[in-house]
Amino acid sequence: MRKVHLIREFAPDAYDFALSSWSWIGTGDKTPRFASCFGDMFLESADGWWFLDSVEGTLDRCWDSMEGMFADLEGPDGRAEYLLEETLNAALGQGLSLGEDEVFAFLPPPAVTGTMSVSSLAPLRFAIAANLAGRIHGELNGVQPDAGASALFAAQRYAAQQAAAQEAAAREAAAGQTAAQQTAAQQAVARQAAARRAAAQEAAAQQAARLAASPVATSQRVAAASTFDAPNPQTDRWQPAAQQAGYEPQYAAGSELDYGSGQTSAYDTGGYAPVPAAAGYAAGYGAPVAEAHAAPAGVGTYDYVDTAHTADSGQFSQYIADQYNTGQIAAVDHGAAAPARPGPQQGGRWSFA
């Protein structure tokens, strides 16, 4: 911290301009000798030494002689009362400094705000600071401002602006603090939610690990696994139509019939039942079907035309019968053995190959 003298001396013209606004208080017959670091002046007259307090706006005769004045200023009480030593140390502690022609001024002045705050101190040229203080105190004591320029009004307006700025800064600080608190609260909630999710995931992983290591779960998984011999589900669309509830029974093709069983007609003629006349016309073929055919020699009583299962003309058996009746199949090996009747394959499915 830079060392600053408690008393300051200035040029004669600086004193003249500083005292030009204090004539209303009676400074005409007094000579300024030095000032404090806050613009207060010590004046000498024929009858003693006077102290001009620029903050309070007063002029008082305090000492009879120079010796008595300096004796008072060298003591701690005198330095505190007249030189404001503690306030000066506080200003210097905040990093403020003074030029050769400067003093610390309260802006706005205490005459307007009513307070002496170190935060409102600012370095200002001594002549200007003292002159401004004299004009403000003069207006407060009824002195009309020169040329309508009111230093008191200017000081009051400046004080109002400073107060508004401080209030706005305080609101912004409070809003920032509130926003910071809200942000901190939101972050805390987010952290708690993340912790809960992590705990739930960990618990699920542990449960899955326990289930995987359980013998019961292992046996259940083995039992539930698909096998080659497992039956088809009830809704298997590849099941034979006759095994599905709600469907019209479908008949097997003629090639699956057991020709060795000796099936006969209702008239016990040894041949297959005759085909009804209406069934003789298969859809899409147009050629009439003969009602019966004589069995070739050496074959027995079996007819080579399959007419026993043609009730449903849209089935494969009807198509085969139509092929025989229209002569599109020219040769039939009547001596061949009847094909074996197929049985169910794995999974309950039937083969129509």
Write out the DSSP string of 55-109.
TTTEEEEEESSHHHHHHHHHSHHHHHHHS-HHHHHHHHHTT----TTEEEEESS-
CA distance 91 to 190: 46
Confidence (pLDDT) at 280 = 43
Delimit the domains of the chain by residue range: 7-149, 237-353
* Contact criterion met (CB below 8 Å) for 307 and 190: no
For 44, the 3-state DSSP assignment is strand
Strand ranges across the sheet with 48-53: 7-8, 31-36, 41-45, 48-53, 58-63
Query: Residue 94 is which amino acid?
Result: Q
Exposed e or buried b per residue across 112-125, where buried means at least 16 C-beta atoms within 10 angstroms of its C-beta: bbeeeebebbebbb
Evaluate whether 69 touches 75 at the Cβ level (below 8 Å).
no
- pLDDT tens for the chain, 353 residues: list them: 556 799 999 999 999 999 999 999 999 999 999 999 999 999 999 999 999 999 999 999 999 999 999 999 999 999 999 999 999 999 999 999 999 999 999 988 888 888 888 988 999 999 999 999 999 999 899 888 876 678 777 777 777 887 788 778 888 888 878 777 888 888 888 898 888 888 888 888 888 887 777 665 555 554 544 555 555 555 555 555 445 455 455 545 554 545 444 444 444 444 444 444 444 444 444 444 444 444 455 444 444 454 544 444 455 556 566 665 655 544 455 555 655 655 555 554 444 44
pTM to 2 decimals? 0.48
User: What length is written for the chain?
Assistant: 353
Q: What is the pLDDT of residue 272?
A: 46
Contact 90, 118 (CB under 8 A): yes
Q: How far apart are CA 43 and CA 81, in angstroms?
A: 17
Judge whether 310 and 194 are in contact, CB under 8 Å: no
Which of 16, 274, 286, 295 has its CA nearest to residue 131? 16
Whether the Cβ atoms of residue 15 and residue 101 lie closer than 8 Å to each other: no
Q: Is 286 left (phi over 0), alpha (psi -120 to 50) or beta?
A: left
CB 101 within 8 Å of CB 14: yes
Q: What is the pLDDT of residue 13?
A: 96
DSSP helix/strand/coil, 205: helix
